[in-house]
Structure 1
């Protein structure tokens, strides 16, 4: 059983997308970040960086005590290795997948988060910051589009944890003032993931908590 410490954010959605695709049994433990639940001592014992998502695997493969993990990319990698799903065992595709996973956590997620902050959450408009992160957002969409013009999925021929990591951030494109029609390959990829049954189940879960 996987206990998922979760809030309905882009990073939280990554893990429900994986769990639904892999059909792995899990329980959602809601972390209400608007009320500061992420700073509770019991949560910090699992996620010392006070961020969601985090998991506790009550039955890890080594048969030992429950294993807790934080950081969404590490959780995706762990679950892929645990289940043998959504990460190729073939050398080249595996590492292409992993590089796009790292790209998401080092580039796409942080830049889009800054875009959202300066467009919607900053106490006052800062034109330089708004423009700077809008330009960077467009650059990253260009990178993503070029990759998807060459390959059906980010890792290669198979849907993987790299696609799962990126999709929830692209799903917030409206709040980043992005029109997906400007990036046709991204738009095609986005719609193929949006219409997967597991994606629908994962998003429904977020509306039920």
Structure 2
């Protein structure tokens, strides 16, 4: 452009675009002279260019604003914008999947808690019914009655094969079975006795009044003798 300005001696009326040096601008200007203002596409040396011509009112003179840019610039911008949109879409999908997975876990947890609550209610209702049955037994506090309903309720509540009520006689050395209920055979038995000398480990363990939690009565030293005799 400096050479063009020098050849015209600074006179705008003598300034002419040289097609050999400015082929794109020259072709864009020719398009303007033929078609007037507007946006168009010109092709020079196998490359497309976007041209925009518009009126530029400045003072009393009429100026024409001519903008030229390679079409690739716009396409690259569109491609970059498309890649960015794709990344955002993938991010949104991942976030939605994560939230969906968390909601799924929360739903499973809610279902599990709901089942546990229902089971707890069922157990509470069953225990309440069993307690009411025991409380309604008319001879419950009669010392001469064996109150067989107690061992039945104990076996049912604990799901044990057998439940029994024992008491130590006045001599302090004899253990007597008041009632023993076998849940599988649905039979009651009782009246048999055991000497504390034969079950010393067992009596030493229960003499404090604490409950024993034993996984295998046959293998535990505290209950193995009682297991062999009674079970």
Give the TM-score category using the shorter length.
under 0.3
| Higher RCO (CA-CA < 8 Å; seq separation 6+) | 1
Give the TM-score taking structure 1 as reference length: 0.21
Q: Give 1 or 2: higher strand fraction.
A: 2
Give the TM-score taking structure 2 as reference length: 0.20
Q: Which structure: larger Rg?
A: 2
